[in-house]
Amino acid sequence: MYTIVKKAQQRLYFLSRLRSFGLTTQIMLTFYRAVIESVLTFSFTVWFGSITVNEKLRLNRVVKTASRTIGRDLLSLESLYQQRLLGRAILISHSSHPARHLFNPLPSSCRTSPVKTEVIFSHLWCIHIPLSMCFSVYILT
């Protein structure tokens, strides 16, 4: 974990240099996503759920520093983690993925009714998947 934070902090220097050159927010944001966020999030759907609170704080400190440098709010790593897990679960459950059989929907009595925005909240029950991957999915009707 220390090496990931160290590598990302080293790349923050280059982000601050871009700001000193007067580049636009969009260019700095693109640089952040390509150079810094990619280091922070490399394979993090595998390891992020098992790190300590202190390690998460150290990682998010890098994101906050980049946010201040760019001058724009950036998503926290927890938000990115949830988005990527959700995206992965949707891809697996709605495709011919070999692990699709691991996602079994609960009976309809466990589902909530549709809301005015036409979103159904459906729970997925995971058989052989780590607890960090068992979560709820929004399915647009």
Distance CA 103, CA 84 (A): 17
Chain position carrying tokens 């036409």:
118
Angle at 13 between CA 45 and CA 4, to 5 degrees: 25
Say what the pTM is. Answer: 0.69
Distance CA 26, CA 34 (A): 12
Maximum Cα–Cα distance across the chain = 59
Tens-place pLDDT, residues 102-113: 776 555 544 555
Tokens for 13, please give them. Answer: 């220097």
CB distance 137 to 105 below 8 Å: no
Q: Could you list the mean pLDDT of each consecutive 10-residue stretch along the chain, which spans 141 residues?
A: 93 96 96 96 92 95 97 95 89 80 60 48 44 46 38
29 residue type, one letter:
L
